[in-house]
Amino acid sequence: MTARKPLVAGNWKMNGDIVSNEQLFTALRADLGRASLSQVEVVVCPPYPYLGQAAAWLGDTGIAWGAQDVSTQPNGAYTGDVSAAMLVDLGCQWAIVGHSERRQLAGETDQQVAAKVSMCMTRGVGVIACIGETLEERESGHTEAVLGRQVDAIAAALVDPAHPLPPGRVVLAYEPVWAIGTGRTASPEIAQAAHRFVRERLAQRGYGHAGATRILYGGSVKPGNAASLFAMADVDGGLIGGASLVADDFLAICRAAAVA
C-alpha cells in the first residue's frame, strides 16, 4: 500500500486580524516541533491580506501556509482576483480550491474549480481541491453521483501532461456540506466510504497517482472526533475550519493525525 503522510490544513476563512493571528502563529510555532512535523504535514490558510504575516511567522518552522482560493486566470482585468503566479511570488505553497462556500456563495462551477487546479499545476502551487455533497443530495441518494461529477472535473485537469504536479502536492478534501460548521460530523464509516469512492474514481479517470493522493476529511473535525476519523484507511488527515482558529484544538488535531 502507498504510504501517505497525513496532512492537516487549517482554513481560517474570513477570520482573524493582525493581533489575533500573531497569537495563533506564536502558539503553533511553540508547539509544533520538528518531531511532530516529521509525522504530519501542517498547512495554515489565512485570508489573503495575512499571507505575508504567515510567511514572516511560519517561514522558518516547517509549517506551510496557503491561500483559500486562486484565480482561474493567469493575469489581467479580473478585479479582486489573485493569480497562482502571485501566490508563488509570495512563497505561498498551497491553495484551497472549490470550497463549498465558494461553490455555493460565489456560484463556482466544476469547470471553474478544474481551471483553478490547472492554474496551480501551471505554477507549481500545491492544490487542496474540495468536493462534497449537500444534505439534500445525500438524503436523495445522489452522493456518489455528485462526488463523481466533481472528481471527474478535477481529474480531467490532473491528467494534463503539460504541467504535472508531484503526487504529494495534489490533495483532495471530502467535505460533506452538511457537516461544515454545523457540529454534525460524518461518521468514520461514512467518511471512509466516500474517500474510497473518490480514490477509485480518480484511478478510473486515469489519474495515475490516485493511491498516493491524500484525501482529507473536513466538516466539524474537533479534538474529540479527529482520531477516529483519521484511523480510517483512506482518510489521510483533515481540512479544519472552526477548530483551526483555536490553537489548542488545532494542535490536538495535528497530534491525532501524527499518530494515526
In whole angstroms, the minimum distance from the beta carbon of 114 to ligand PEP comes to 19
**258 near 36, Cβ under 8 Å?**
yes
Name which of 156 and 247 has its Cβ closer to ligand PEP: 247
Clarify whether 175 is annotated catalytic: yes
Name which of 164 and 223 has its Cβ closer to ligand PEP: 223
224 binds ligand PEP per the rule CB under 6 A: no
Clarify whether 137 is annotated catalytic: no
H helices of the chain, where? 18-31, 34-37, 51-58, 84-90, 100-105, 110-123, 135-139, 143-158, 188-204, 223-230, 247-259
**125 near 96, Cβ under 8 Å?**
no
66 binds ligand PEP per the rule CB under 6 A: no
- Binding pattern to ligand PEP, positions 181-220, x when CB under 6 A? x------------------------------------xxx
Report the phi/psi class of residue 49: left, alpha or beta, with left for phi > 0 and alpha for psi in -120 to 50.
alpha
Between the two ends of the chain, the Cα-to-Cα distance in Å is: 16
Among 242, 254, 255, 256, binds ligand PEP (CB under 6 A): 242
Binding site for ligand PEP (CB under 6 A): 11, 175, 180-181, 218-221, 239-243
Catalytic residues: 99, 175
